[in-house]
Amino acid sequence: FVPAGRNGVATRSRLYVISSPPPPPAGSSSRTSDDEDENEHGALFTLDESSAGDFFQVDEEKEALPPMSDRPLPEYTNTPEPIQEAGGIAAEDEDDLSFFYRDEDDMLTEREDRLYTDEKGIRREIEKCILVGVEDLAAQRRAKKAELYYDPLDSGAEAPIFSLEESMIEMRELVRTAGMSLEGEIVQRQKEVNPKTYIGSGKVEEARALMDEHDACTIVFDAELSPGQQKTLEKIFNRNALQNDFLGEDQEIKVVDRTALILDIFAQHAKTREGKLQVDLALHEFRKPRLTKMWTHLERQSGAGGVGLRGPGESQLEIDRRLVRDRIIVLKKKIDDIQKQRSIHRRGRQRTGLPLLSLVGYTNAGKSSVLNSLTRAGVMAESMLFATLDPTTRKVKLPGESAHPEFLLTDTVGFIQKLPTNLVAAFRATLEEVEMADVLVHVIDVANPSWEKQERAVRSVLSEMGVGDKPVVRVLNKIDLLDEDEAEMLTYEAAFSDDTVAVSALTGEGMEDFVVAVEESLNSLLAPIELVIPYNKGQELSIIHEQGVVETIDYRPEGTYVLGRAPPAVANRLQMYSMADSATGDDTQQSTNTKATADTDDEIDWVALGRGRHGQD
Ligand SMILES: Nc1nc2c(ncn2[C@@H]2O[C@H](COP(=O)(O)OP(=O)(O)OP(=O)(O)O)[C@@H](O)[C@H]2O)c(=O)[nH]1
Ligand SMILES: [Mg+2]
């Protein structure tokens, strides 16, 4: 069994190490945990060992963190000055005053106001909306051209452009996930965008009439609206609303664009403290430029109630701006602190060292289901977009005589086309997991008619992130939903490809192939060796056995001949026994000894790996 954090072995892969470890379950061979799944519900990830079956075993512990209220309060230098103000923003003020005593629990409750609980205790949506789809004909034409020159092997390929219908299907799903009821749709095909209202004035009228007809209070645009466009549209719709007076006094028509809709879903799904802080930051960044434009009704010198609490000549708008600005500073600071904590955990994982695989893929592709099917980790898998927002890592043990009996698998947030970059940036933590991974597992929902475009959209994000050249295992998921011919075709295609497997995470079909593909991808991280090891260096031989793969072994007079693969650091260290100088092949001589030392920082702890296997033997 491997003691966590052996000295002198620097590793590339990482394992979460708990700072104050709970007692390991009986039979556990190493100590692992996830710093990320700090969860308010505590018991989201339950593990049913008995159901893990013969095939996969799960080794999992959960970090035992004290409840938030019991933890020491961090010190902040950027404390915003307390502001008290009567009127509409009182809640914000209160939040600022007690900022350090309660925050994450009270954040992001805005959404709740739009839901109500019925007599059976079920939450129901009250928000009716209509959806506006816009097809940019010029962009579509460009896309068609690009399609002609599309090179499937170019990992840096540009993101594909989804057709109007494909995009609308996705938007309907997003609207549903956000908890609204979709009452009607309007589409416009246009050559250029109307700078004031995005869509043409005729379409605005049409939308108004449709909203009128259905008593809808929200209009969702499948586009990124500028703050100015949003303001103009809101003005137009609300003027009409007031004239028709069907919404009552305090309800206003909201104009929501794609970014705002996705942010709303993120806000509803954020579970961990870090996730909530990140979403809150993204929301504030989103609102900041809209403050001036959108909330012009706040733009007045506030009267009663502000005495002593306002800076000289500060208007309501200035106060609002200051509140948002201060909040952004504090949120950033808090997130920074968590990131520091995270890097401590990461160093711990690096010491223990197991290969790290990261699940990536379009939202709803089945990433969490793949993780579940492998580990029965009980990660929430739901038929909604962006069910997962926080990275969750599990240790997976493979069966039998495997060179890589254990690895870590991280579930991450899903990608979506046209995702604004500032939103992506808000999920730095998740993206870091992807950057750190040795191998990416790209899960693709082949039951979705747009799966090829979705796959390309993901690949273009990956290459933007600079991880486009990491080894990838392509998982064609949900084959159970395809008709027989289609399923057969994809399975056939996968059988001819080293890095592609066709599976159903739901039924477990093809998961054995997945495991083999993972093994192969991990093997690709090993360097080929051909050595003759003197008999007095028997220890070196066992290291190769443990950490690498031995293909041929032969006992010769001068020592043991070994042909196989080993981690690059081991291969480099044993280079003095290399057969490279002799006439037989030269594939071990790929780096010098000096490089070997430089490389060690970047290494996987294969000793841990090998011993893990021997522990099972
Ligand atoms: N029929 C079928 N459904 C599947 C399969 N894999 C996943 N699903 C379903 O697809 C939905 C989405 O699965 P998730 O595992 O939550 O997908 P995800 O990629 O983690 O999604 P996000 O976290 O929201 O990005 C769930 O309803 C799953 O039950 C499969 O192989 N077959
Ligand atoms: Mg998920």
Model confidence at 85: pLDDT above 70: no
> According to the per-residue pLDDT averaged within each range, which of 165-179, 372-386, 392-406 is highest?
165-179
Residue 56, pLDDT score:
39
Residue 548, pLDDT score:
78
Q: Which residue would you say has higher pLDDT here, 105 or 450?
A: 450
Residues 144-152 have a mean pLDDT of 70
**Cβ neighbours around 384 below 10 Å, total:** 18
Residue 504, pLDDT score:
94
Residue 369 Cβ contacting ligand 1 at under 6 Å: yes
Q: CB-based contacts of 473: which residues, under 8 Å, 6+ apart?
A: 357, 439, 440, 441, 442, 499, 500, 501, 514, 517, 518, 521
Which protein residue has the closest C-alpha to ligand 1 atom 16?
381
Residue 461, classed as helix, strand or coil, is helix
Model confidence at 24: pLDDT above 60: no
Model confidence at 361: pLDDT above 90: yes
> In the 3-class helix/strand/coil scheme, how is 424-457 assigned residue by residue?
HHCCHHHHHHHHHCCEEEEEEECCCCCHHHHHHH
Residue 152, pLDDT score:
60
Query: 19: closest CA among 356, 411, 341, 395?
Result: 341
Model confidence at 240: pLDDT above 70: no
**b/e map of 118-136 (b: 16 or more CB within 10 Å)?**
eeeeeeeeebbbbbbbbbb
Residue 205 Cβ contacting ligand 1 at under 6 Å: no
Question: Which ligand 1 atom minimizes the distance to the CA of 479?
Answer: 31
Distance between CA 554 and CA 532 in Å, rounded? 9
- For the stretch 501-549, pLDDT in tens is 999 999 989 888 898 888 888 888 888 899 999 999 888 888 888 777 8
Query: 357: closest CA among 474, 429, 440?
Result: 440
Instruction: Using pLDDT thresholds of 50, 70 and 90, give the confidence band for residue 419.
Output: confident
**Helical residues (DSSP H) of 215-315, grouped into ranges:** 227-244, 258-269, 273-294
Residue 428, pLDDT score:
65
pTM for the model = 0.68
Distance between CA 205 and CA 190 in Å, rounded? 16
Model confidence at 239: pLDDT above 70: yes
Distance 301 CA to ligand 1 centre (A): 52
Distance 381 CA to ligand 2 centre (A): 6
Residue 276 Cβ contacting ligand 1 at under 6 Å: no
**ipTM score here?**
0.99
Distance 429 CA to ligand 2 centre (A): 15
Q: Kindly calculate the radius of gyration of the chain based on its CA atoms and give it in whole angstroms.
A: 28
Query: 199: closest CA among 262, 277, 245, 257?
Result: 257
Model confidence at 107: pLDDT above 70: no
Residue 372 Cβ contacting ligand 1 at under 6 Å: no
Residues 321-334 have a mean pLDDT of 87
Model confidence at 316: pLDDT above 50: yes
- Pairing assessment for the beta strands 57-59 and 392-397 based on DSSP bridges: antiparallel
- For the stretch 32-53, pLDDT in tens is 333 333 333 332 222 233 333 3
Residue 128, classed as helix, strand or coil, is strand
Instruction: Using pLDDT thresholds of 50, 70 and 90, give the confidence band for residue 373.
Output: confident
Distance 446 CA to ligand 1 centre (A): 11
Q: Which residue would you say has higher pLDDT here, 193 or 186?
A: 186
Question: Which ligand 1 atom minimizes the distance to the CA of 384?
Answer: 24
Give the ligand with the smallest distance to the CA of 385: 1
Residues 5-14 have a mean pLDDT of 32
Model confidence at 615: pLDDT above 80: no
Residue 48, pLDDT score:
33
Using a pLDDT cut of 70, give the percent of the chain over it: 60
Residue 477 Cβ contacting ligand 1 at under 6 Å: yes
Residue 426, pLDDT score:
65
Model confidence at 451: pLDDT above 60: yes
Give the ligand with the smallest distance to the CA of 177: 1
> According to the per-residue pLDDT averaged within each range, which of 139-148, 305-314, 458-467 is highest?
458-467
CA of 418: how far to CAs of 140, 262, 345, 387, 489, in Å?
14, 11, 33, 18, 30
Distance 525 CA to ligand 2 centre (A): 27
The overall average pLDDT reported for the chain is 70
Instruction: Using pLDDT thresholds of 50, 70 and 90, give the confidence band for residue 435.
Output: confident
Residue 131, pLDDT score:
96
Residue 204, pLDDT score:
93
Least confident piece of the model among 5-19, 157-171, 492-506? 5-19
Instruction: Using pLDDT thresholds of 50, 70 and 90, give the confidence band for residue 236.
Output: confident
Instruction: Using pLDDT thresholds of 50, 70 and 90, give the confidence band for residue 126.
Output: low
Residue 221 Cβ contacting ligand 1 at under 6 Å: no
Model confidence at 242: pLDDT above 80: no
Q: Which residue would you say has higher pLDDT here, 434 or 33?
A: 434
